[in-house]
């Protein structure tokens, strides 16, 4: 029985440069911010920047993994709060804030595990659960 205050199992992921290259290829997004040292240096950055949209995908997987097969993710929103760089480890977390029948509203967050800075906040999702 899902109740307000329940926390989702944390999703932790180290995002390496090869991971970022795979994501760039898989999304047809070859923006230089995600891999090009000269481009980055011209913008005062020393490490490739993780594509923020990846965090949307990871939050969707966090929610789907917790909600189980058959559950339907109907809404997801996220706001980018800080850049994340190649090689950093992120932790995606969530908590139930509202339960209305089968419909559950979650608040979500992505932090950088290495130093605790908040990468994505506020964020949240709505998921419709199915009876086990």
Partner 1 sequence: MLTEQLRAQLGREVVYTAPEEIGRAAIRYFAQAIGAVDPAYTSGDDPIAPPTMICETNQYANLPADADGYPGHGWHLDVPGARLVRGGNAYEFHQPARASDVLTVTWRLESVTERVTGGGTPMLVVLSTATYRNQRAELLAVNTETLIYLGGGA
Residues in touch with partner 1 (CB under 8 A): 13, 19, 22-23, 25-33, 36, 39, 52-54, 56-58, 60-61, 64, 69, 72-80
Q: 114 and 54 in contact (C-beta within 8 Å)?
A: no
d(CA 84, CA 45): 11
Residue number with CB closer to partner 1 (44 or 132): 44
DSSP 19-56: HHHHHHHHTT---GGGT-HHHHHTTT-SSPBPPTHHHH
Shortest Cβ distance from residue 6 to partner 1 (Å)?
21
- Measured in whole angstroms, the distance separating CA 116 from the mean position of its chain's CA atoms is 15
- Nearer to partner 1 by Cβ, of 28 and 46: the residue is 28
Burial (0-12, 13-18, 19+ Cβ within 10 Å), 80? middle
Of 1 and 85, the one with the shorter C-beta distance to partner 1 is 85
Q: What is the DSSP letter of 7?
A: B
Q: Quote the least distance from Cβ 3 to partner 1, whole Å.
A: 24
In angstroms, what is the minimal distance from the CB of 9 to partner 1?
A: 14
Nearer to partner 1, 61 or 95 (CB): 61
Cα(9)–Cα(93) distance, integer angstroms: 7
The least CB distance from residue 12 to partner 1, in Å, is 11
Query: Considering the complex, what minimum distance in angstroms separates the CB of residue 109 from partner 1?
Result: 13
User: Which of residues 5 and 18 has its CB atom nearest to partner 1 in the complex?
Assistant: 18
């Amino acid at each position: 029985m899902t109740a307000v205050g329940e926390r989702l199992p944390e999703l932790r992921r180290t995002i390496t440069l090869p991971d970022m290259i795979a994501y760039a290829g898989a999304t047809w997004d070859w923006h230089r911010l995600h891999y090009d040292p000269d481009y980055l240096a011209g913008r005062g950055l020393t490490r490739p920047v993780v594509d923020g949209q990846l965090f949307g995908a990871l939050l969707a997987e966090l929610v789907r993994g917790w909600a189980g097969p058959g559950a339907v993710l109907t809404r997801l929103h996220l706001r980018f709060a800080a850049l994340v760089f190649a090689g950093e480890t992120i932790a995606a977390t969530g908590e139930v804030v509202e339960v209305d029948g089968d419909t559950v509203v979650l608040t979500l967050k992505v932090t950088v595990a290495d130093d605790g800075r908040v990468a994505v906040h506020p964020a949240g999702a709505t998921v419709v659960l199915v009876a086990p």
